[in-house]
Chains A and B, each alone.
Chain A
Amino acid sequence: MDLSTINPAVLLASLMVASTPILLAAIGELVVEKSGVLNLGVEGMMIVGAICGFAVSVETGSPVLGFVAAAAGSALLSMTFGILTQFFLSNQVATGLALTLFGLGLSALMGQGYVGIKPPAMGDLNLGPLGDIPFVGRVLFQHDVMVYVSLALVAAVWAFLKYTRAGLILRAVGESHDAAHALGYKVVVVRLAAIAFGGACAGLGGAYLSLIRVPQWTEGMTAGAGWIALAIVVFSSWRAWGVLIGAYLFGGVTVLQLNLQAAGLDVPVEYLSMSPYLITILVLVIMSSGRGRAALNAPASLGRSFHASH
């Protein structure tokens, strides 16, 4: 048993990188669910974002354009979900699942010519002297720009939901769409905007996988990250900072157990890998009991279709 071979600074730094894709996807889904829409298509939107971002950055040589394209592509894809659920009032669960299947297939088709290609590298952000601070510098200040974008997004979403009027309207729509409608708010427009935002975030998360974390295009490369993002939203009980903690916990456990194994420590891998899911199940159990639902902060109209009858 020798823990000294693991460099904690490197471990924490790789934890942040490993968590960024699910953090991006989860913060987007948080906004979607706060508006009362349950979009289970995160996995499909992520993988479409992964290939859109990969293809565009390979063709243009610019990772930044790749991320922009990933966000746009996934937002566009999420609009199919938006139109189906908001205008045609289709079942959100079924439509979300269909979106995942569709996204996986579409991405495989789009990615045909991109297997085995190396994307242009996105360098780490140079923060000057900050990066030279011992320990803290390695952990916090030697990352690519997307890690900071993801953190800024969490802060922005938190502030938006808590302090802005638009955020209040979004929450009102999620809590009671009938009341919000009666007050004159455009429920469908608010929800479509939220869905598009969720799609864009999922796309960024997917592109982070294919452009920075792996980096390559492989069919089905998200391998369930979208489902983890959905679990994180529940885990956070619909709070922005909770999403951050959840994402770092889920990502951290994976990185930690791999590093412990590589250092030759005898760790019960299965239990460590299982732990975030066990916590999520626990949260779901508490949530499904009547009083728990309100206590856990779940939007009251989550997953319900809205139809203005007057």
Chain B
Amino acid sequence: MQRRTILKGGAAAAATLALGRPGFAGSHLPVKAGFIYVGPIGDGGWTYEHNEGRLAVEEHFGDQVETVYQESVPEGADAERALTQMALGGADIIFTTSFGYMDPTINVAKKFPDVKFEHATGYKRADNVATYSARFYEGRAVQGTIAGMMTETNKIGYIGSFPIPEVIRGINSAYIHAKKVNPDVEFSVVWAFTWFDPAKEADAATALIEQGCDVILQHTDSTAPQAAAASAGDVITFGQASDMAEYKPLPRVSSIIDNWAPYYIERVQAVIDGSWEPTDTWGGIDSGMVKIGEITDAVPEEVKAKALEIRDSIADGSYHPFTGPLNKQDGSAWLAEGETATDETLLGMNFYVEGLSGTIPQ
């Protein structure tokens, strides 16, 4: 509902906007980079980290690049309007930072062939649309390990946002690794159908805690579940997308941090050089796009060691979080002994692995 577009770069930026110069890459400076955010930059999670990436771009390039952003843009038709406005405003490259912007990005990209688009977490590409995402499921493997070893009630709550492959991958990965260290573990998944609604997220966390869950994992963007866990006591949580360090050392015992800065800098550089290509990037722990936040002292030493071991084995490539034997929820075989999941399967993942209860809303 917020419609603030903030221009950095002073009068020059204002003049550029007024002239409505069409975007063309590689031959003029400063290059203008636009960002579309799904939540407010102060959400303390997903959007906050994307904005940190934007600030890193500004700092890295100085006068060579100016950035614009629009926050709290609803997914769907309204995103097309925001994107069109930004492209008309002279942006050379636009990062659309939520799954729901996929079709709007493709639609607007058709109308502005000279503007480069970068869509996060999607799978549709075009001549001027690249996609990028992070292998959050690698971080979920670390979280699942800690969760499985730390739970005393053997019930772990998971707040899902939307039933899309990215979220389902995270649930599966966390479950597989929790189960590995604790065969009695059970998962309760609650779908919030929102990325950002602190009150609803807090209610979901409270409902899960009420059901006996003593570990809460979230795939929504605000810190509200952390606050709910803190007031309930004896519940541990993990920072999502951002470190959420203000809830250290309890309830937040670790976190997955999305580190977009290196990628954003690389892509803006490519626009400046004229070497931009519609690539598909999927970075993980190894490339530094996914970082595991500090594991606090609330976690026993052996749990911490085990978690770090998983992290390091993923980072050096010796271990893949989806390694067979694994069955799907209905019992049918998915991965044979030693087989690892292909990126293609992971990108379109729409099933639970064996052992998870409940169904994925369609």
Is A152 an interface residue when CB atoms closer than 8 A count as contact?
no
Q: Say if the beta carbon of A269 comes within 8 Å of chain B.
A: yes
Whole-angstrom distance between the Cβ of A205 and the nearest chain B Cβ: 11
The answer for the CA separation of A18 and B202 in the assembled complex, in Å, is 10
Partner of A221, one of B3, B41, B199, B358: B199
Task: Tell whether A219 pairs with B41 under 8 Å between CB atoms, given A10-B210, A214-B224, A261-B191.
Answer: yes
Are the C-beta atoms of B43 and A258 separated by less than 8 Å? no
**Which residues from 62 to 93 on chain B have a C-beta closer than 8 Å to any C-beta of chain A?**
72
Chain A minimum-CB-distance residue to B187: A264
B199 interface neighbour in A108, A121, A214, Cβ under 8 Å: A214
With A21-B199, A219-B41: A266-B359 Cβ-Cβ less than 8 Å:
yes
The yes or no answer to B4 lying at the interface (CB within 8 A) is yes
| Whole-angstrom CA separation of A268 from B40 in the bound complex | 29
Q: What 1/0 mask marks residues of chain B from 99 to 140 whose CB sits below 8 Å from any chain A CB?
A: 000000000000000000000000000000000000000000
Q: Across the interface, do B208 and A220 meet the contact criterion of CB distance under 8 Å?
A: no
Chain A residues contacting B194 (CB-CB under 8 Å) are 223
A145 at the interface (CB under 8 A from B): no
Known: A255-B203, A258-B204, A262-B204. A218 touches B224 (CB 8 A): yes
Query: A305 near B: Cβ within 8 Å?
Result: no
Is A219 a contact partner of B190 (Cβ separation < 8 A)?
Answer: no
Whether, in the assembled complex, A176 has its beta carbon less than 8 Å from a beta carbon of chain B, the answer is no
B210–A266 touching, CB < 8 Å: no
Q: Is the CB of B197 within 8 A of A273?
A: no
Give every chain B residue within 8 A of A117 (Cβ-Cβ): 246
Pick the most buried of A5, A10, A261, A270: most chain B CB atoms within 10 A of its CB.
A261
User: A64-107: contact bitstring with B at CB < 8 Å (1 yes, 0 no)?
Assistant: 00000000000000000000000000000000000011001100
- Are the C-beta atoms of A225 and B199 separated by less than 8 Å? yes
Contact: A116 with B200, CB < 8 Å? no
Question: Inside 8 A of A222's CB, which chain B residues have their CB?
Answer: 199
Q: Is the CB of B72 within 8 A of A18?
A: no
Asked whether B224 lies within 8 Å of A223 as measured between CB atoms, the reply is no
Verify B4–A105 contact, CB threshold 8 A: yes
A14, A220, A263, A268: the one contacting B2 at CB < 8 Å is A220
The minimal Cβ–Cβ distance linking B261 to chain A, given in whole angstroms, is: 20
Residue A289 interfacial (CB < 8 Å): no
Chain A residues bordering chain B, tally (CB within 8 A): 45
Interface residue ranges of A245-287 to B (CB < 8 Å): 254-255, 258-259, 261-264, 266, 268-270, 273
> Separation in Å of the B138 CB from the closest CB of chain A?
27
B210 proximity list for chain A (CB < 8 A):
7, 10, 14, 259, 262
* A10 CA / B211 CA spacing, docked (Å): 11
Which residues of chain B are within 8 angstroms of A121 by Cβ–Cβ distance? Answer: 231
Shortest Cβ gap from B211 to chain A (Å): 5
Would you call A219 and B207 a contact (CB within 8 A)?
A: no
Rounded to whole angstroms, the CA-CA distance of A148 and B231 in the bound complex is 22
B227 touches A215 (CB 8 A): yes
Q: Report the nearest B residue to A111, measured CB to CB.
A: B42
Most buried by B among A121, A262, A273: A262
Say how far A278's CB is from chain B's closest CB, in angstroms.
Answer: 16
* Chain B proximity of A158: nearest CB distance (Å): 26
Interface residue ranges of A185-233 to B (CB < 8 Å): 209, 213-216, 218-225
Could you say which of B207, B224, B227, B359 has the most chain A C-beta atoms within 10 Å of its C-beta? B207
CB distance B193 to A273 under 8 Å?
A: yes
Q: Which residues of B are at the interface with A, using a C-beta cutoff of 8 A? A: 1-4, 39-44, 72, 157, 188-194, 196-200, 202-204, 206-208, 210-211, 213, 222-224, 227-228, 230-231, 246, 357-359, 361
The 10 closest A-B pairs by CB, nearest first: A116-B246, A219-B42, A219-B40, A223-B197, A262-B207, A220-B40, A261-B190, A221-B198, A259-B207, A258-B207
Supply 16 further A-B pairs (C-beta < 8 A) apart from A258-B207, A263-B211. A14-B207, A18-B203, A117-B246, A209-B198, A214-B224, A219-B43, A223-B194, A223-B196, A254-B203, A258-B190, A259-B210, A261-B358, A262-B188, A262-B207, A266-B359, A269-B193
A-B contact pairs, 30 of them (CB 8 A): A10-B210, A18-B203, A104-B72, A108-B2, A108-B40, A116-B223, A118-B227, A118-B230, A213-B199, A214-B198, A215-B227, A218-B198, A219-B42, A220-B1, A220-B72, A221-B222, A221-B224, A223-B196, A224-B1, A225-B199, A254-B200, A258-B204, A259-B210, A261-B188, A262-B188, A262-B204, A262-B210, A263-B188, A266-B358, A269-B193
